Structures are given as structure tokens and as C-alpha cells.
Amino acid sequence: MCSASGLRTKLVPVRYAQAQRCFVVPSSKRSGGTMGVTVETISPGDGRTFPKRGQCCVVHYVGVLQDGTKFDSSRDRNRPFKFKMGCGEVIKGWEVGVAQMSVGQRARLTCTSDFGYGKDGYPGVIPPDAVLVFDVELLRLE
């Protein structure tokens, strides 16, 4: 059963020479810096089919720390990862970032720690307060 996360976001598009970025900032911005997820398109999708709450997203991804250390990869397992959009099954950075991707799109999601694993990290894998970078490809919706 899905529950509402109550997340409200403000989208601020910024154009660059090679990529389009969209920085997402929570509406209840804390002091001490910018928080959220940056979505940078690597290759475009269909531009029409975006995930909706409750849909199953099928993705391939590679997750690395800011220093480039890989901590997880569905590509290495040769098995796509599935999650239900808007149901709290993944970190907030994915909920917000993947929701802005269209089917077929490949993007780099850079998540601040509050949109990742926070001050606790994930012991033995992700250090506390880590910025996470994901190469995500939205393969299909089910």
C-alpha cells in the first residue's frame, strides 16, 4: 500500500551547452546550503511518458560516491531494478529525480545527503552525509 510523502518541490530549470539540468529544492529549505537532487540528461527519452504515483518504474542504474567509488549497480547484476513511484520504496532523490524522467531517458542524478541516506549513511557501504551520484536509465513503466 502506498502512502503520500507530502513532498512539495520547486523546479528551477537551468540550461547548459551540452545538457539540460533541473535542480529540485524542497519547499521547506533549511539553512546551510542547497538541498535536493540535480537531474542532468545524458540521453533523452520520449519526452511524453513520465512516471505517475503508483506505477512500477523499471530502471538500470549505477550508484557512486562523489569520489567515484561505486557502491551499487543493477547493470553489474544484469538485472533491471523495479520500484513503485511515490510509495517510499527508494530514497527521496530517486522519488523526485526519476519522476522528472521520461521513458527511455538516461540521466545523472546527484543527490544531497538529505535526499539520500542522510547523517547515518548506510553502514559499510555509504558514509554519513554522503552526496550520491546515480546514472539512471528509465527503461519502461509497468
Whether 3 is in a domain gets the answer no
The total number of structural domains in the chain stands at 1
Whether 111 is in a domain gets the answer yes
Mean pLDDT for the chain overall: 83
To the query of whether residue 42 is one of the catalytic residues in this protein, the response is: no
Range of the domain at 137: 37-141
Q: How many CA atoms lie within 13 A of 49 on its CB side?
A: 13
Confidence band, pLDDT 50/70/90 cuts, at residue 96: very high
Residue in the block written with cell 518541490: 9
CATH of the domain at 133: 3.10.50.40
Whether 63 is in a domain gets the answer yes
Whether 7 is in a domain gets the answer no
Distance CA 37, CA 35 (A): 7
To the query of whether residue 61 is one of the catalytic residues in this protein, the response is: yes
Whether 18 is in a domain gets the answer no
* Residue 75 clears pLDDT 60, i.e. is over it: yes
- Tell me the pLDDT tens digit for each residue of 101-135: 999 999 999 999 999 999 999 999 999 999 999 99
Catalytic residue among 81, 83, 134, 135: 134
pTM of the model: 0.79
- Tell me the pLDDT tens digit for each residue of 35-60: 799 999 999 999 999 999 999 999 99
Confidence band, pLDDT 50/70/90 cuts, at residue 70: very high
Whether 67 is in a domain gets the answer yes
To the query of whether residue 72 is one of the catalytic residues in this protein, the response is: yes
User: Higher-confidence residue: 68 or 4?
Assistant: 68
Whether 58 is in a domain gets the answer yes
